[in-house]
Structure 1
Amino acid sequence: MTNSINELEKDARAILVIGSNTTENHPVIGMKIKKNVLENGARLIVADPRRVDLAEIADVYLRHRPGTDVALLNGMMNVIISEGLADSDFIAANTEGYEAMAEVVARYTPEYVEAITGVPAADIRRAARIYARAEAAVICYAMGLTQHSTGTDNVKSVCNLAMLTGNIGRPGTGVAPLRGQNNVQGACDMGGLPNVLPGYQPVTDESVRSRFEQAWNVSLSSKPGLTLTETVEKAYRGEIRALIIIGENPMISDPDLNHCEEALKNLDFLAVQDIFLSETARFAHVVLPGACFAEKDGTFTNTERRVQRVRKAVDPPGQARADWEIICELASRMGYPMSYSSPEEIFEEMRGLTPSYAGMTYARLEGQGLQWPCPSEDHPGTAILHRDGRFTRGKGLFSPVEFLEPAELPDDEYPLVLTTGRNLFHYHTGTMTRRCQALNQHVPEAEVEINPNLAAQLGIKNGETVRLSTRRGSIEVKARITAMIEDGVVFMTFHFAEAAVNLLTKADSLDPVAKIPEYKVCAARLEKMT
Structure 2
Amino acid sequence: MTNSIPEIPKIDLAFITGSNTTENHPVIGAQILQAVKNGAKLIVADPRRIEIAEKADVFLQLKPGTNVALLNAMMNVIYNEGLYDAEFIEERTAGLSGLIDVIQEYTPEKAQEICGVDADLIRKAARMYAHADKAAIFYAMGITQHSTGTGHVMTVSNLAMMCGNLGKAHSGVNPLRGQNNVQGACDMGGLPDDFPGYQKVTNPEVIQKFETLWNAKLSFKRGLPLTKMMQAAHSGEIKLMYIMGENPMVSDPDTTHIRESLENLDCLIVQDIFPTETTELADVVLPVACFAEKDGTFTNTERRVQRVRKAVQAPGEAKADWEVFVEIMKRLGMDVPYEKPEDVMKEIAQSTQLYGGITYDRIEHKGIQWPCPTPDHPGTPYLHKDKFSRGKGLFVPVHHVDSAELQDEAYPFILTTGRILYHYHTRTMTKRVEGLHAIASEGFIEISPNTAEKLGVEDGELVKVASRRGTLEVKARVTDTIQDQVVFMPFHFAETAANILTNASALDEISSMPELKVCAVSVEKLETV
Alignment match, 1:420: 417
Within a 5 Å distance, the mapping from 1:15-26 to structure 2 comes to 15-26=14-25
Q: Map 1:109-148 onto structure 2 (within 5 A).
A: 109-148=107-146
Q: Tell me, what secondary structure is at the counterpart of 1:272? A: strand
2:457 aligns to what?
A: 460
**1:509 partner SS:** strand
Same amino acid, percent of matched pairs:
58
Deviations 1:350-407 (A, max 9, x none): 110000101011000012210000111111100011113x001111011010110000
The residue that corresponds to 2:522 in the other structure is 525
TM-score (norm 1): 0.99
Task: Please list, as runs of the form range in 1=range in 2, the aligned pairs for 1:91-490 lying within 5 A after superposition.
Answer: 91-388=89-386, 390-490=387-487
Residue 454 of structure 1 aligns to a residue whose secondary structure is: helix
Do the aligned partners of 1:23 and 1:53 also contact (CA within 8 Å) in 2?
yes
SS at match of 2:514: coil
- Match runs of 1:67-106 below 5 Å: 67-106=65-104
Distance 1:232 1:160 in 2: 33
Alignment match, 2:8:
8
Q: Distance in 1 between matches of 2:512 and 2:98?
A: 26
Match of 2:105, SS state, is: coil
Shift of 1:328: 1.4
CA distance in 2, matches of 1:496, 1:337: 43
Between the aligned partners of 2:152 and 2:8, the Cα distance in structure 1 is 22
Instruction: Find the aligned partners of 2:323 and 2:139 in 1 and give their Cα distance.
Output: 35
Deviates more, 1:199-208 or 1:236-245: 199-208
Residue 334 of structure 1 deviates from its aligned partner by: 2.3
Q: Distance in 2 between matches of 1:188 and 1:236?
A: 25
Amino acid at match of 1:34: L
Residues in 1 aligned to 2:359 and 2:200: alpha-carbon distance in whole angstroms: 24
Distance 1:124 1:516 in 2: 28
Contact 1:328 1:339 in 2 (8 A): no
Distance 1:244 1:374 in 2: 32
- SS at the partner of 1:525? strand
The one-character-per-residue Cα deviations of 1:432-469 (angstroms, maximum 9, x if unpaired) are: 00011000111111010110110011010011111111
In 1, Cα distance between the equivalents of 2:132 and 2:87? 16
2:40 aligned residue (4, 20, 42): 42
Identify which range, 101-110 or 337-346, moves more after superposition: 337-346
Give the aligned partner of residue 56 of structure 2. Answer: 58
Counterpart residue number, 1:30: 29
Distance 1:372 1:131 in 2: 28
Q: Distance in 1 between matches of 2:193 and 2:84?
A: 35
State yes or no: 1:495 paired with 2:502.
Answer: no
**Distance across 1 between alignment mates of 2:409 and 2:29:** 39
Q: Distance in 2 between matches of 1:48 and 1:193?
A: 29
Amino acid of the structure 2 residue aligned with 1:464: E
Classify the secondary structure of the residue corresponding to 2:507: coil
> How far apart in 1 are the matches of 2:257 and 2:319?
32
SS of residue paired to 2:183: helix
* Cα shift at 1:252: 0.4
Amino acid at match of 2:26: P
In the TM superposition, residue 251 of structure 1 has moved relative to its aligned partner by 0.4
**Alignment partner of 2:363: what SS?**
coil
User: What is the CA-CA distance between 1:484 and the residue it aligns to?
Assistant: 1.1
1:335 Cα deviation after fit = 3.1
Paired residue secondary structure (1:471):
coil
Secondary structure of the corresponding residue to residue 175 of structure 1? strand
Q: How many residues align?
A: 527
The Cα shift of 1:413 comes to 0.4
Mapped to 1, the partners of 2:292 and 2:165 lie a distance apart of 39
CA distance in 1, matches of 2:469, 2:215: 47
Q: Could you tell me how far 1:337 is from its partner in structure 2?
A: 3.0
8 Å CA contact retained: 1:329, 1:338? no
Q: Distance in 1 between matches of 2:163 and 2:42?
A: 16
Query: Deviation digits for residues 111-136 of structure 1, max 9, x if unmatched?
Result: 11100000010000000000001111
Alignment-mate amino acid for residue 437 of structure 2: N
Over 3 Å off, 4+ runs = none
Q: 1:393, 1:219 → 2: CA distance?
A: 31
| Structure 2 counterpart of 1:22, one-letter code | T
Distance in 1 (CA, whole Å) between partners of 2:365 and 2:337 is: 29
Cα distance in 1 for residues equivalent to 2:501 and 2:249: 13
Report the alpha carbon displacement of residue 339 of structure 1 after superposing the two structures with TM. Answer: 4.2
In structure 2, C-alpha distance between the alignment counterparts of 1:486 and 1:185, rounded to whole Å: 33
Checking the alignment, whether the CA contact within 8 Å between 1:47 and 1:63 is kept in structure 2 is yes
Q: Which runs of 5+ in 1 are unaligned?
A: none
